[in-house]
Amino acid sequence: MSALTLPMLSPVSSLESYVQAVNAIPMLTPERETDLGRRQKADGDVSAARDLVLSHLRLVVSVARNYMGYGLPQADLVQEGNIGLMKAVKRFDPERGVRLASFAIHWIKAEIHEYILRNWRLVKLATTKAQRKLFFNLRSMKKGLATMSASDVERVASELRVKPEEVVEMETRLSGQDIAFEADSDDEEAAYAPVNYLAADRDAEPLHQLEAKESEEGRAAGLEQALEALDARSRRIIEARWLREKDPLTLHDLAAEFSVSAERIRQIEAKALAKMKKAMPA
């Protein structure tokens, strides 16, 4: 198969020109993306990695736009996001069945977060994990820099599941005078700095999320396999007693359904659970 021809990006004079340039780069088909991913992973093919990066630059632009409210240069946000994209391409494994865009978005956001934390200056507000989370959410939800109305406060509090007074307090802090957001090493509150909060969240890393997803899918497949080993009545009892999201049936409900005693239903249930335990993969 001939190599995909992508236009080289020449130096541009503005962000708008850059956006136009990256939007002109054709998107990859799933088959082409898989081929390039295999070449990059197996052989370290620089040309394949380049094509994967260039074809996803528009994704970085899209993600970076969500962080415009921090007063930082949009071009710098895009540049940092591109670094995250390159890290994602280096770690991309097409055999996992996940598209590069879905995999890369976490790395892109991580790099942009790190850039914001290195450069954003504002009131020292990081006293609890909940407040640090509220800070980032409130910055993304606020429209412009105008003071929020009472209805805005109620709406944000409802969406973030916090008290209205917490939203008001955080907005006040966001409007305060600037000081270092990333605490100095000799600061007694350095342990509460937002940079530590984000860096410690290992569960947000792409590989951890992917592994968790695969583990969940494996458990679901194992459960279905174990259910298939049961007879129709036993499966009905297990599903009605254990797998219903709402209003699981009682032993007496099922006893009436099958015209047997509640004790007989309990015995069938216990036997079915033991059979399923043996059938579930280790």
Integer Cα distance of 177 and 36 in angstroms: 49
C-alpha torsion angle, residues 207, 209, 215, 217 (rounded to 10): -120
Return the bridge partners of 110, or none: none
Under 8 Å between Cβ of 117 and 198: yes
pLDDT of residue 179: 38
Under 8 Å between Cβ of 52 and 92: yes
Integer Cα distance of 40 and 88 in angstroms: 12
Residue 178, classed as helix, strand or coil, is coil
Higher pLDDT, 4 or 104: 104
Cα-flanking dihedrals φ and ψ of residue 163, to 5°?
A: -75, 145
What's at 95, amino acid-wise? Answer: E
* pTM given for the model: 0.45
Return the bridge partners of 180, or none: 121
Q: DSSP letter at 186?
A: T
What CATH number does the domain located at 15-118 have?
A: 1.20.120.1810
pLDDT band at 32 (very low <50, low <70, confident <90, very high): very high
Range list for CATH 1.10.10.10 in the chain: 214-279
What are the pLDDT digits (tens) for 167-184? 777 776 565 444 344 455
Integer Cα distance of 117 and 124 in angstroms: 12
pLDDT of residue 14: 72
Residue 251 CA, chain-centre distance (Å), reads 40
Integer Cα distance of 171 and 121 in angstroms: 15
CATH class for the region spanning 214-279:
mainly alpha
What are the pLDDT digits (tens) for 144-175? 546 677 787 888 788 777 788 777 777 765 65
Integer Cα distance of 224 and 62 in angstroms: 39
